[in-house]
Amino acid sequence: MAAPPRVFLPEHKIQERIREMGEQISRDYPHGPLYLIAILKGAFMFVADLTRAISTPTRIEFIGISSYGRGKTSSGEVRVTKDLDVSIEGHDVLIVEDIVDSGVTLTYLLNVLGQRKPKSLEIATLLDKPERRLRPVQAAYVGFQIPDEFVVGYGLDYAEDYRNLRDICVLGEGVAAV
Ligand code: PRP
Ligand code: 7HP
């Protein structure tokens, strides 16, 4: 593993923002169940904290989507690695994502889930990198807008490393872009 990452968003700021997001989502969805669909693997930590910040009854489901492989840029080829175990027809659904970058992943997923007739379908993302957008995706709930830096930690990886960091960090020098 290369040089230690530099802290970009410390744990306490992440947690404070998630509490705010949870309060807003609870106000917007006063009646449950609200289906939180977390995208594996990056969103596993965010969904764990977000669901505890929401007072409306939630159900947690996971879907596996991958488009980055081991690099820092999207391969552009999105694939489902694990589908939902339940029907979302007639339910309020919030896709829970760690980061929106090119928008390729969410454009694909909105299309896939939209065909399953949910009552409503929105996105909650912890991070948004609007500068890198290739597809016009708009999340209803955004934790932080960030510049075009490759970040890791709090679920986000670089080639599967760093997911367990409590803070969100920028990789140090010496990590070559792939
Ligand atoms: C990352 C991240 C998002 C997606 C965003 O997933 O977790 O799901 O990329 O990128 P996009 O907006 O450019 O499509 P990745 O494919 O790296 O899988 P992972 O969550 O398992 O790390
Ligand atoms: C995907 C991704 N994964 C980790 N860190 C980032 O900055 C990323 N952008 N898109």
Q: Break the chain into its structural domains and give their ranges.
A: 12-147
Per-residue pLDDT of the chain (178 residues; tens, 9 = 90+): 556 689 999 999 999 999 999 999 999 999 999 999 999 999 999 999 999 999 999 999 999 997 755 555 655 688 889 999 999 999 999 999 999 999 999 999 999 999 999 999 999 999 999 999 999 999 999 999 999 999 999 999 999 999 999 999 998 655 444 3
Q: Which helix (H) or strand (E) holds 114?
A: helix 104-114
The reported pLDDT for the residue numbered 176 is: 45
In contact, 63 and 94? CB cutoff 8 Å: no
Distance from Cα 66 to the centre of ligand 1, integer Å: 6
Does the global pTM surpass 0.85?
Answer: yes
Pairing of strands 120-128, 141-145: parallel
Residue 148, token pair as written in the block: 């075009």
| Rg of the chain (C-alpha set) | 16
Catalytic (active-site) positions: 101
Distance from Cα 146 to the centre of ligand 2, integer Å: 11
Write down the CATH number for the domain with range 12-147: 3.40.50.2020
Residue 121, token pair as written in the block: 């379908």
